[in-house]
Structure 1
C-alpha cells in the first residue's frame, strides 16, 4: 500500500433496513452467521485461510528468488503476474494483462549533509526539487510525540523560518506533515522512517509545496541528535517512463453492463517481499476468484484486478480507469478494494463510505455507504467483530474509481498507525504499537501476519463480492444499469477488459 494511515473511531451507520445485507446482532448475542445468497454462503465456506496462505507462500518464494522483493519493474513483479495469470486461466477466466506506462523517479542528488557527514535522503513522490547545490538552513527537530508533525502546534516554540524540518514518520500522512512544516516557515522537510530501512517508494499524494525527502530510521535518529546544526538538503531527480502490466480477469457469465469489480495491488516496495502489503489482499482476492470460477451462476459479471505500480502512486489502477470510456465506466456498478488485510497487530477498518466519522475526505459516491454497511454487517454477524471506519484518503487503488463517481469500499487492517488502548481492548494486540511494524520494510514476510484477521477478512471479501454478484440492487441500493443492446454490451464489455491499443496477453 502506498503510504497510508488508519486510526479512526468506531463506525456508526444508520443505513435503511431495506438496503442492509444483514442485521447486526446485539452486543451480548453470539454471532449466528448472516443470512444472504446461497452463492455467498457457499463461496465463503470454500475460501479458507489455508488456500490464501498457499498463495502467500508462492509470493514469498517469488520474492526470495528475485532479490527479496516483487516491486514493479523487477523480475519479482513479473513472476507474480505470471503466477496469478496462470491460476486464473486454469479456473476458466478470460484473462488479460493490459499494459500501462509509469514514471520512475531516478535520483540525481539524494543527500542531507551536516558537518561533513552525508546521509541518504530520497525525495518523496510528488516532492518539488531543490536547486542545484541544495537548500541550507538550521536543522529543526519536531518533538517525537504520538502524532509528530500532525498538528500545527507541533511547530510552536521553535523558529522554523528558513529551516529544514526533521519529522518522524507516523500517525498522519506525509502530506500533512510537510504542509504543516511549510506553514511554519520551513524551506524543506526530512521525514525519518519509524521502521528499520530507508524511506522510499512513498508519496506525498499530491504536488508538494516544499522539497521533502525520506531518511532511514537510523539516519533519522542520528540527525535528531544534530538538531540545531546547519544542514544542506539536495533532492534532485529526473523521470523515466517504463511499461508494466495489470492483471484483469472477468467471469464469462453475468451482466456485462452491471459489473462488480474487486481489486488489490500486486506490487511490493523494493525494500521487502510485501507479504502483508499487499500479498494478503492479492492472495485473498485470488483465492476468491479461483473458488468462484470463471463461469459461475451470477446475475452480474465479476471483474477481478491485480494492480501494478500502486507503490509508485496508484499508477496501474489510475491508468486502467482513465483508459475506459464513459460508457465502460458506467458499466462498473461498484469497486471493492483490499489492501493489507492481515497486519500482525491487526485493526478491523472498513472504508468510511458515508463519511459518518467526519474525518478527512468526504463521503464516497452514491452507494459507497451501502458497501461499507455490507462489510460492517458481515463482520459483526459472522465474526463478532466491531469495525471502525477509515478515511478515503486517496492512498490506495479506490482513488480513481471514486474520482469517476463509482461507488467504492473495502477492508484494511492498518499500516504504520498505532493501535490505541480502546482498539487493543476491542480487537486484542498491543496498544501503542504500529498495526504493521514491518510496513514497507524487509520484515514484511510470511512470519509477520495475523492469520486470524486474514481469515476473517478473506471471508468478508468472498461474502460481499458474491452477494453483489447476485444483486447490487438489493444489497447496495444502487439501481442496476440500463441494459444496452446485446451487441453493444458485448463489445463494450470486452473493450473494458482488453485495451486493444495497449494490451499484452501473458
Structure 2
C-alpha cells in the first residue's frame, strides 16, 4: 500500500510561503523553495512499480477484449473504465467529452481525378492519388487554386501551405484547393480550406526524398463534408504549373460515425484561471494492445494523478486521457475545437506523454525553442521554458536528452495550433536510433526505437522499465513545479493561427 507519512501531510497542510523564481538550471542547483520541496516529495511518491501495475492491467484488458484497446471497441471502453475507477478512487471529479470518429468508411468505387482543361489528363487511382480516408462523397468539377506552395520544395520539410487561415486570402470560393504537405496536420489544412469556401481539396506530397509518393492516409477528418484526395508530388507540381487548370474530383464513399469519450480529471484545488494540463492518449491501434503506444504515457500520468491528489496545488491541474488519437488526434482535436477562447486562455500550458518506455529508447524532449534547427518550427511562446524545465530534471540525474520536433504526430498538435505552449517526453517510435544516440543512451544503433510500433507485439514485454521509471519521475517533477509556479510561462495576448506538425 502506498502511504504518505503523517509528518509529510502536516508539512504540506501548512500555509505556503512565497514561491521561488522560475527554474533555469538543474533542480539540485536551485535554492530550495516550496515548488522544489513539493516536486521532490511528489517524485519520491511516484513509483515505477505502480506504473507497471497499470500497464499490466491494460494488457489484461486488451487480452480479454480481442487483443487491442482501439477506438470504438470494448477494449477501449474497459480501458476508459479502469482509468475512471482509479481517478475517482483518488478523489477526482471525472468528466467526459464526446469524440466522434469514423466507425467505418467504405470506398464504393475508385476515386476520380481528371484534368479537363487546359489539356486533358486522367490520373490513376491508387497510384497517382488516393482518396483520403475517410473522405466524404462528392463530385466536383472546378478550377484549381494553389495555396501558398513552396516549389521547388525546400531541402527539408518546411512548407506551411494551408496551415494558416491567411494562406487562403484571395481564395475564390467554389474552387478546388491545391495544398502541399508540410509542417501542420492535414486536418488543419482541410479545416482552413473548408472555411475559405473550397469545394474539394487536393493535398500533394511535399517533394523531398521519401516524401514524393501518394498513399492511403487516415486523417480522421470528415467533418468538412467535401471530397479530398492525397496525390503524388508530381501531380501537384503539374497542376500548379498548368495555367487555370480545371479538374474533376470524385469520391464515392459511405461514412458511418461512432462516439467515444475523453476522460478528464481536474484537481479540486488550485487557481481555475491557471490550468496546467497533462495528456496521454488512451487508445491503441487495432493491431495490438498498445502497451508502449500508449499504455506507457497513460499509466505514467495516471500514477502522477493518483499521488498528486494527496498534495496541495496553487494552480489547477488537469489530467486528460484522449480517445481516438490513433485515428488522427481526434480526441484532442475535437476537445480544443470545442473550447471557447476564454477556456483556452485558462490553459497555461499542455504537457504531452506519448510512448515514454520504448525498448530501444532515447530521452527525447519536444524542441520548444527549435534549438535543433531542424524540421518544424518552435512551439508557441512558453514552449522553450517547458523544454528547459524538463532538461533541468534530467541534468539533475546526469542523464542526457535530445530534442524532437513538433511534427504533428501526437496530441500537442491541436494545442500549439491555437497558441498554447506545449512540451513533453517521447522515447521514439518506428524511427531508427542513430549511432550518436546509442552512445548517449545505450541500446542498438541502426534499429527502431520500438520495433513493435503499431504491431501485435506491443505487449507488456515491449517496454524498458528504466525509461518508464525515469520518465514517470520527470513527469511528476515538471507537473509539480508548474502546479506551484507558472511565472516562467508568458501570458498569451492573442490566439495564434499557425499550427505545427504532420
Alignment of 1:230-249 (within 5 A): 237-249=253-265
Instruction: Give the TM-score normalised by the residue count of structure 2.
Output: 0.68
Q: Does residue 179 of structure 2 align to residue 179 of structure 1?
A: no
Unpaired runs of 5+ in structure 1?
A: 1-16, 26-30, 112-117, 132-148, 152-171, 192-199, 213-233, 482-506
Greater relative contact order (CA < 8 Å, ≥ 6 in sequence)? 1
The residue number in structure 1 matching 2:238 is: none
Alignment of 1:40-439 (within 5 A): 40-108=39-107, 125=133, 179=205, 189-190=214-215, 209-210=230-231, 237-293=253-309, 296-382=311-397, 384-439=398-453
Q: Does residue 15 of structure 2 align to residue 22 of structure 1?
A: no
Q: Cα gap change, 1:408/1:91 in structure 2, threshold over 3 Å: closer, same or farther?
A: same
Secondary structure, in 3 states, of the residue corresponding to 2:230? coil
Q: Cα gap change, 1:185/1:348 in structure 2, threshold over 3 Å: closer, same or farther?
A: closer
Secondary structure, in 3 states, of the residue corresponding to 2:260? strand
Q: Deviations over 1:168-220 (max 9, x none)?
A: xxxx9999x9715699998x6358xxxxxxxx8678999753179xxxxxxxx
Checking the alignment, whether the CA contact within 8 Å between 1:255 and 1:300 is kept in structure 2 is yes
Indicate the larger mover: 177-186 or 314-323.
177-186
Checking the alignment, whether the CA contact within 8 Å between 1:102 and 1:242 is kept in structure 2 is yes
Checking the alignment, whether the CA contact within 8 Å between 1:174 and 1:203 is kept in structure 2 is no
1:70 and 1:184 mapped to 2: Cα distance?
Answer: 31
Q: Does residue 490 of structure 2 align to residue 478 of structure 1?
A: yes
Checking the alignment, whether the CA contact within 8 Å between 2:184 and 2:408 is kept in structure 1 is no
Q: After TM superposition, give the deviation of residue 104 of structure 1 in Å.
A: 3.9
Q: After TM superposition, give the deviation of residue 19 of structure 1 in Å.
A: 3.9
The residue number in structure 2 matching 1:38 is: 37
Q: Cα gap change, 1:21/1:460 in structure 2, threshold over 3 Å: closer, same or farther?
A: farther
The residue number in structure 1 matching 2:466 is: 452
Q: Cα gap change, 1:421/1:241 in structure 2, threshold over 3 Å: closer, same or farther?
A: same
Checking the alignment, whether the CA contact within 8 Å between 1:123 and 1:236 is kept in structure 2 is no
Unpaired runs of 5+ in structure 2?
A: 1-19, 111-125, 140-154, 158-182, 187-202, 234-249, 494-502
2:210 and 2:55 mapped to 1: Cα distance?
Answer: 45
Q: After TM superposition, give the deviation of residue 274 of structure 1 in Å.
A: 0.4
Checking the alignment, whether the CA contact within 8 Å between 1:93 and 1:250 is kept in structure 2 is yes
Aligned residues: 383
Instruction: Give the TM-score normalised by the residue count of structure 1.
Output: 0.68
